[in-house]
Chain A
């Protein structure tokens, strides 16, 4: 009683087998369940390595200290000591190098506006920062740094 009724089932099983074979070649070997279990860490383990090796751009304030000791010292005497060098000078990455001999400085008015536009916000430390209510009225079209040295911003001496 050769029952032909199961033939479609055999075709289906064949297709499933093909998919499983394809899967063996397609899925990376380190794909699986890890420390946080199936729900939260079903992944390709090698990806963690990718993110750990992602290129670091910002090197931090201490990176600049050795070569630029004078600038480092001058800003440390001013209220701007709290600002990281790279916030205005851009990320150091591998500076100094052939590809990056100098860093481009952001000297725009908008950079200073970030803090020095007056916002009368009673419950925020913003209110403690000196600023202009209407900065466009104060020497417009001129860069702030023409008169105010960011490393010692107080006019008339450090």
Chain B
């Protein structure tokens, strides 16, 4: 079987070489980069615009953004027919291609997030390094830890008021510069699709903007979800613990409602923007009714009606909108809302990537994609449900390990 043949069902008249080449991993990639961009924007809302209520979630969002950053290229690595040649994008980039921007944009964005994290946690590193230096008779793991923290300080041990103040200024600059870079990170993903004139569904100048809007939505939603889950889990653990904790129960309130309410306002704003743009694109296509409209109408209103209008717009957009706008928002309702929003954003990526391949270039045939659920070889795993779930779980696993070096609560009080 040729690549793509096993999960493609062709109907009526299609070109012989047409298969669904861009499968679930290409859906995952913009989904993951969207989470990255969104998490960063959320963090920057505090650092740049000084919205005090977002302080707690801001640091959390930044660390999570870093964890996401390592998971985000994984869908591409799993999709490429030659994964190890992936570095060719950085070695001989062909900048007339949107995908070539990947190397530079990812690296720049990674540098900004890493730098911002360094400034945020520098005092913590210094404190840890000095404490470990004092310790006599270090064990092997403690030596490793000592070396790690020494390296992380980058040789800068000055933690005076003035020094910390400079750190704060640097964070503001990086957060500010990072917002357009995060937008570019996801905008270019939208451009990858929007600029393909051969694909009647993808080709629109609105695509990069739609992607950015829904990316921010997904990023905020994921941060809210993880924030709530982590805070509630901590509260639960404190209740269970027999040993005394550093903070009293009163101090640890679990997920803070006023933080959640504030963040959800931004979520709703970007959600409305995303929906508006998508509906605009749909209405425009129907109104202008160019050559491809017949087959697109057949795909959008007939074959993929359920995926688009029920799953994405209905469950993924309309219901969460109602949940957030109705008065008396609770933590529980927020959790449901953000889960549905994340689902809606995923379905949007699905409907664009898979939907764009649901009709043939002949405009007289169709291709149906069925996701490989049970893998029977490496290909049906990596480009099937197994691969998609592995990618989705990866940032959480990474976050767990990264937050051991960049702690998100408790001990690492940074004062800003």
Q: Do chains A and B touch in the complex (CB under 8 A)?
A: yes
Contact A4 B111 (CB under 8 A): no
Determine how close the nearest CB of chain A comes to the CB of B266; give it in whole angstroms. 28
| Choice from A8, A26, A38 contacting B118 with Cβ under 8 Å | A8
Contact A4 B166 (CB under 8 A): yes
Contact A8 B166 (CB under 8 A): no
Bound complex: CA of A23 vs CA of B90, how far in Å?
9
Determine how close the nearest CB of chain A comes to the CB of B28; give it in whole angstroms. 26
Least CB separation from B162: chain A residue:
A1
Chain B contributes a number of interface residues (CB within 8 A of A) equal to 20
Mark B152-170 against chain A: 1 for CB-CB distance below 8 A, else 0: 0011101000010011011
Residues from chain A with a CB closer than 8 A to the CB of B119 are 5, 8
Bound complex: CA of A7 vs CA of B170, how far in Å?
11
Residues from chain A with a CB closer than 8 A to the CB of B114 are 8
Contact A8 B90 (CB under 8 A): no
A19 in the interface (beta carbon within 8 A): yes
Contact B92 A4 (CB under 8 A): no
Least CB separation from A8: chain B residue:
B115
Contact B166 A12 (CB under 8 A): no
A11 in the interface (beta carbon within 8 A): yes
Bound complex: CA of A32 vs CA of B27, how far in Å?
33
B1 in the interface (beta carbon within 8 A): no
Interface residue range, chain A: 10 to 19
Judged by DSSP, the binding face of A is helix
Contact B92 A7 (CB under 8 A): no
Bound complex: CA of A22 vs CA of B88, how far in Å?
11
The verdict on A11 contacting B154 (CB below 8 Å), with A3-B166, A38-B96, A39-B96 known, is yes
B94 in the interface (beta carbon within 8 A): yes
Residues from chain B with a CB closer than 8 A to the CB of A27 are 91-92
Contact B158 A31 (CB under 8 A): no
Contact B163 A4 (CB under 8 A): yes
Mark A42-70 against chain B: 1 for CB-CB distance below 8 A, else 0: 10000000000000000000000000000
Residues from chain B with a CB closer than 8 A to the CB of A38 are 94, 96
Among residues 24 to 43 in chain A, which have CB atoms less than 8 Å away from a CB atom of chain B? 26-27, 31, 38-39, 42
Contact A26 B166 (CB under 8 A): no
The verdict on A5 contacting B155 (CB below 8 Å), with A23-B91, A31-B92 known, is no
Determine how close the nearest CB of chain A comes to the CB of B239; give it in whole angstroms. 40
Determine how close the nearest CB of chain A comes to the CB of B385; give it in whole angstroms. 35
Contact A4 B91 (CB under 8 A): no
Contact A7 B156 (CB under 8 A): yes
Bound complex: CA of A9 vs CA of B112, how far in Å?
9
Among residues 108 to 149 in chain B, which have CB atoms less than 8 Å away from a CB atom of chain A? 111, 114-115, 118-119
